[in-house]
Each structure stands twice: as structure tokens, then as C-alpha cells.
Structure 1
Amino acid sequence: MELHDVWFVLIAVLWTGYFFLEGFDFGVGVLTRLLARDRPERRVLINTIGPVWDGNEVWLLTAGGATFAAFPEWYATLFSGFYLPLLVILLCLIVRGVAFEYRAKRPEEHWQRNWEAAIFWCSLVPAFLWGVAFGNIVRGVPIDRNLEYVGTVWDLLNPHALLGGLVTLTLFTFHGAVFTALKTVGDIRERARALALRVGLAAAACAVVFLLWTQADTGNGRSLVALAVAVAALVAALVANQAGREGWSFALSGLAIAAAVAMLFLSLFPDVMPSSLDEQWSLTVTNASSTPYTLKIMTWCAGIATPVVLLYQGWTYWVFRKRIGTQHIAADAAAGAAH
């Protein structure tokens, strides 16, 4: 296997890790409006992802950096053609991070309410736009003979891509609801499981249509296997959720996300960004990659750094593995008042 093929796989793995991890904290952000009934319950939801949300975003930074270094032509065409939606995603991630940190800095009702609204919208919008972006990448976009994007932002708002946005939004919200059930106790846990069923059914309906559409347009035998795994895992996650097996349900919803991402990348290969104007103008792992020497240096660096990052993130999740509920929020408030 050539190094550019290896890096295509590694970038696919990075995006899979990002959607698996950031997917559930986007979902929890959306649930601050759909599930939480009052401020203590919103605090519970935010606290479930408080120790990990920023670490989850490392996967996005790494995926973007790896694309820039391994496939500069892909990076340049992607970020120029998708400039506006990617800028909106970036702004949402910035505001979302500020909201997590500033929400509790002042006690006024309007202050906290406004930051909580920012958490909701800045979780919902990126969850939708990532699906739109990847729906377009797989479907193909207007790329000319100079390997440059020649379309407009309106070309990105096609039915296939918009359906992809609904898939990621509903699937991440389901993933977040299952994570909430796994991390909480009491009434909020039961309501999270009930909401997970409703959202999961909507996610399954959207995902089946989108994945079958993608398979019919650009799929192959390998992507068909990934499609089957994604659908089976999503159905199994719904069954496990109904049985009260939150751990299994979370693992299976994550597997569904991973298989869906794998299907998209398997549908792409050897292209990295197909041209809808002429397939000969498509960006591929060959014409979009860096030099072999650059890829070799990157491979050594990734081999050393990746295990360290994985161990650290795994340790973080282990340390903050306990369930929480509104009683813990009340206890924290009482302790603060006593001081």
C-alpha cells in the first residue's frame, strides 16, 4: 500500500473518531433544549460533557492538519469551495467553547439563558452542516481542470447534502441522548432513554434513505458492507436502549456512526473530492497528495504521538466515568453558598 493510501485511511479514522466523540457532545448540546426542563437539568447535561468536549475537538484539528499536510490540493479546494459553511462551523465552535466557560461566571438569569441558547444553537448548526459538507464531498462538486472549485454556496444546498445534514443532526442527537442516559441518574435518565427512541427512529429513517441513495450513486461492494453494518448497528442500538442497556446502546450508536463514515470514505476512494463536471478533473489520493518524503515524516510523527493522545483521552474518560444527577448540582450549589 502506498503512503498516500495509508494517509487516506488515517484521515478517515480521524474523522470517524471526531464524529464518534464530538457527535455525542453536539447531541448533548441539542438536548439542553429538547430534554432539560430547568436550569439544574441543563447543568447536569453540560456537566456530563464538561471534562471532555474540548478534548473531542482535538480530533477535528488533527484531521484538518493531516489533510493540509498529506493532501494540500484537497485541503485547498475543500476550504475554498466550502468556505462559508466551514466558517460558520468554526464560529459556532468558538462561541460554543466560550459559552461553556462563561455561562456560570455571572448569576443573572438573562446572562445564563443567553449562553445556554448559544450552546444549543452552536451544537445544532455544526451537527447539521457537517452532514451537508460530507454529503457534497461524496456526491461530487463543480471542480474544473485546474482542480479548483467553480461553484457557489447554493450548489452545496442540494437535496442529497441537505438530507445528509438531517442524518448527522438526528444521529448525533440520538448518540447524545444515549450518552446522557449512560451518564445520569434519576428522572432525567429515564426521559433521555425515551427521547433516544424517538430521535433514533427518525435518525434510522433518514440514514437508511441517505446511505442507500449514496450507495446507488457512488457506492461499491466495500461500501455496501459498511452500509449494512451501519444499519444493523443503529437498529441494535435502539433495541439495547429499550432494554435499558445504555452501555451497549452507546457503543452500538458509535459503531453506526463509524460504519456510516467508513461507507462514505469507501465510496470516495481513490477520489478524495470528485468533480461533478468531469471525472478526470477529480481530486484523487494521487494528484492531491504531498511528496513521499513528507508523508514518510508524517507517518513517523503520527506513530509516536497518536498512542500518547489516545492514552490521555482514555484516562480522562475513566476519571470522569461516574453518573451525575440534579442532586449533585444542588449539593454543589449548597457547598458554594456555605463558602
Structure 2
Amino acid sequence: METLWFCLVAAMIAAYVVLDGFDLGAGIVHLVAARTDAERRLVLRSIGPFWDGNEVWLLAAGGTLYFAFPALYASSFSGFYLPLMIVLWLLILRGIAIESRGHIDSPTWRPLWDAVFSLSSGLLAIFYGAALGNVVRGVPLDADGWFFEPLWTDFRLGPEPGIIDWYTILVGLLAFAALAAHGALWVALRTDGGLRDRARRIGRLVWWGVAALTAIVTLVTFRVQPSVPARLVAQRWGLVFPLLALAGLMVMRIARGRGADRRAFAGSCVYLAGMLASAAFGVYPCLLPAVTDPAYALTVHNAAAAEHGLRVGLVWWIPGMALAVCYFAFVYRTFAGKARPEGEGY
């Protein structure tokens, strides 16, 4: 039962990254792909019906984590308090930027919020990547399962690392590049004309960075966290996840070259899901590895709620997720197609 809930939490995090990732990526390329006020408004219209709903998956993942693995929730939210507050403020600023941009028709007002939107989106991508890097690398847990990390120390790995070191920065840069490519492909899929052409070019250029950083981060991760390659060797069926990510990366490249925007975006979705699944498989059964002593790690066994509670929770989780999936299917079907400059909003 603990493993099932681990998979469910991982699936919801992957859903959040794939879905909210394209509007984060659209924010990253917002100032580069769109050159006029009308084009920037069109970028916002392409994500307008979706961006706030996509964040539901972040809330759902957090709620499920709190229910299924309360010890992990308590430890991580205490130890990661400072970066969590930064992420919260970035989410707030991003939402304010999207909603406030069109309230005043001013040559300074709109560029200000465009810059806030782009900056907050980029920083969120980097912080999300750094968070994943911390989970894979491990944190300085004590015997009671608690820890605290400063924002940075000496940027080196060791028994007392900071939130930010050279490894987590590297993972953050990969997340930034991957979501920038994801967002560029979304903008290309949802728009026409010069904006679409520039988004395609951005996606083509950023792809090389994603491919290079994927290779570098993979090799470095094998050195930083030896349990990841050891698990892949011990259970070779898990190789399906990195192979899935590689296939998605290649589909992005081939489909974009053929002008198949929908297929290229689907490849990006598969790449992101495959990378996250690879990370989850690599650290399992750990939820939060310990750099102090491997015995201090929080695992699916010592951090999970009681068996009876997990079984009862599953009864309520299934219909709740079914409603969420139906809602998202309806919204994405209703607002399918190209974004248009006509109408109200953004």
C-alpha cells in the first residue's frame, strides 16, 4: 500500500510539471518570442484558460503527501521552509502579473508585469529543479528524521549541504531549459504567424541545451547518488523510464523539424514524465535520502501513515481524482485550437 501511494504522489507531481510546465515555459519565453504587446497578450491568452487550474495538481500532490506520508511532510516542510516561502511568493507574483497586466493601458504598466511574469516563471523552474536535486542528492537528516538546510553553504557536496550547491544548480538549469522548450512548443502549437515561427526557433535552439544538460545531469547523478544506477542494474525493467524520456526527447527533435507541433509537444510531455519517473524509480524506496547516515533516510515504510488509513484514503482519493480528470478533459477540449486575439481577457 505504501508503494501504491508513492506512485500516486509521483504521478500527481508529474502531472503538475507537465501541465503547469507549459505555462511556466510560456512565461520563460514570453519576452523573447513575443515582440509586440499584441503578441504578448496572445501568449497569455494561450495559457489563460489553463494556468490556474493546472496548479490544482500541486495542491493535490501536497495534500496527498500530507495524508499518505505525514512524517515526510512534516520534515520536508520544516527543513525546506525558506525555499518554500520563496516559491510561494513567486507563485503569488506570477498570478498577480498575469491578472494585473491588462488592467491599465500604459506603456510602463504592461512591460512591468510582463517582466515580473517572465522572471517569476524562470525562477520557479530553477527552484523546482533545485528541489528535485535536493531530493535525489539527499539532505542532512538526523536520527529523528529532522533537518534544516541554509539556502547555501560553500556550494559543495558533503554532510552539511545547502539548498543550492553546484549539483542542484545544474538540475535547476536543466529544469529551466526543459520547461522553456516545453513552453515554446506550446506557444508554437497554440499560435500562428511570426509568433509561432519564433517559438519554433526557440524550441529548436533550446532543445540542444536540454539534450546536453540531460546527459550531463544523468552522469553526475550516478556519481552523486550511487543508489540510482545500482537500482537500475538490480531491476532492469526500470530502464523503461529513462528510455521513455530519451524517446520523448527524440520525438521533440524529429516532429519539430517536420512542423508537427502537436507531436513535438507530446514528445516534450513524455520527456518530462520519463525524467521524473526515472528519478522516482532511482530513489525508491527512499522518499528523502540522508547524506549524514543512510539509516536516517525517510522511506515509504518509516514515513507512511497507518495501513488502515491508507486503505480508507484510497476509497476517497479515486472519485476525487476522477472528478479532477473529467474537469481537465472538459476544459482542454473546450479551449482546444489556436489562441485568438479577439475577445476580452489578458
Question: Which TM class, normalised by the smaller chain length?
Answer: over 0.9
CA contact (8 A) 1:70 1:290 kept: yes
1:91-134 residue CA offsets vs partner (Å, 9 max, x unmatched): 11111112211111111222222111111111111111000001
Equivalences for residues 121-270 of structure 1 within 5 A = 121-154=119-152, 155-216=162-223, 217-219=226-228, 220-221=231-232, 222-270=237-285
SS in 1 for 2:102: coil
Task: Tell me the CA shift for residue 332 of structure 1.
Answer: 4.2
Q: For residue 100 of structure 2, what is the amino acid of its counterpart?
A: Y
> Unaligned regions of 5+ residues in structure 1, if any?
334-339
**Structure 1 position 228, deviation (Å):** 2.4
SS at match of 2:287: strand
| Contact 1:103 1:112 (C-alpha < 8 Å) held by counterparts | yes
Q: Distance in 1 between matches of 2:227 and 2:173?
A: 20
- Which whole-Å deviations, capped at 9, do the CAs of 1:151-179 have from their partners, x for residues lacking one? 42211212221111011110001011111
Q: Find the residue that maps to 2:16 and give its secondary structure.
A: helix
Alpha-carbon distance, 1:213 to partner: 2.4
* Paired amino acid for 1:180: V
What amino acid does structure 1 have at the position aligned with 2:197? E
8 Å contact kept, 1:68–1:75: yes
Identity of aligned residues (%): 34
Q: CA deviation at 1:238?
A: 1.3
Q: Check whether the contact 2:133–2:168 (CA below 8 A) recurs between aligned residues.
A: yes
Corresponding residue to 1:311 among 319, 326, 336 = 326
Supply the distance in 1 between the matched residues of 2:4 and 2:310 (Cα, whole angstroms). 9
Q: Distance in 1 between matches of 2:314 and 2:74?
A: 21
Contact 1:147 1:282 in 2 (8 A): yes
Are the aligned partners of 1:18 and 1:59 in contact in 2 as well (CA < 8 Å)?
A: yes
After TM superposition, give the deviation of residue 301 of structure 1 in Å.
Answer: 1.0
Amino acid at match of 2:106: E
Partner of 2:24: 26
The aligned residue for residue 117 of structure 2 is: 119
Q: Distance in 2 between matches of 1:166 and 1:138?
A: 15
Of 104-113 and 3-12, more deviation after overlay is shown by 104-113
Q: CA deviation at 1:72?
A: 1.0
Structure 1 residue 305, shift from structure 2 partner: 1.1
Q: Is the 8 A contact 1:143 1:277 kept in 2?
A: yes
Structure 1 contact 223–264 (Cα < 8 Å) conserved: no
Does the CA-based 8 Å contact 1:72-1:288 persist in structure 2? yes
Length, aligned pairs only: 328
Counterpart in the other structure of 1:64: 62
CA shift in 2, pair 1:47/1:225, >3 Å: same
Q: Secondary structure at the match of 2:301?
A: coil
Instruction: Describe the SS at the equivalent of 2:309.
Output: helix
Deviations 1:239-276 (A, max 9, x none): 11111011110111100000000011001111100000
User: Is residue 314 of structure 2 the alignment partner of residue 299 of structure 1?
Assistant: yes
Within 1, Cα distance between the matches of 2:220 and 2:314?
Answer: 35
Q: Partners in 2 of 1:257 and 1:149 — Cα distance?
A: 29
Q: Which AA in structure 2 matches 1:82?
A: F
Q: Residues of 2 paired with 1:151 and 1:28: CA distance? A: 31
**Local SS of the residue matching 1:153:** coil
Structure 1 residue 223: Cα displacement: 4.6
Q: Which amino acid aligns with 2:146?
A: E
1:106 corresponds in structure 2 to: 104
Unaligned runs of 5+ in 2: 153-161
2:273 and 2:148 mapped to 1: Cα distance? Answer: 31
CA contact (8 A) 1:138 1:218 kept: no
Letter in 1 for 2:253: L
How has the CA–CA distance of structure 1 residues 102 and 150 changed in structure 2, closer, same or farther, with 3 Å as cutoff? closer
* Separation (CA, whole Å) in 1 of partners of 2:196 and 2:149: 46
1:215–1:223 contact (8 Å) kept in structure 2:
no
Deviation at 1:203, TM superposition (A): 1.0
Q: TM-score, length-normalised on structure 1?
A: 0.93
Q: Give the aligned partner of residue 157 of structure 2.
A: none
d(CA) in 2 for partners of 1:118, 1:223: 40
CA contact (8 A) 1:144 1:150 kept: no
Deviation at 1:293, TM superposition (A): 2.1
- Cα distance in 1 between the residues matched to 2:27 and 2:149: 33
Q: State how far apart, in whole Å, the 1-side matches of 2:149 and 2:179 are.
A: 29
TM score, norm. by length of structure 2: 0.91
Contact 1:223 1:262 (C-alpha < 8 Å) held by counterparts: no
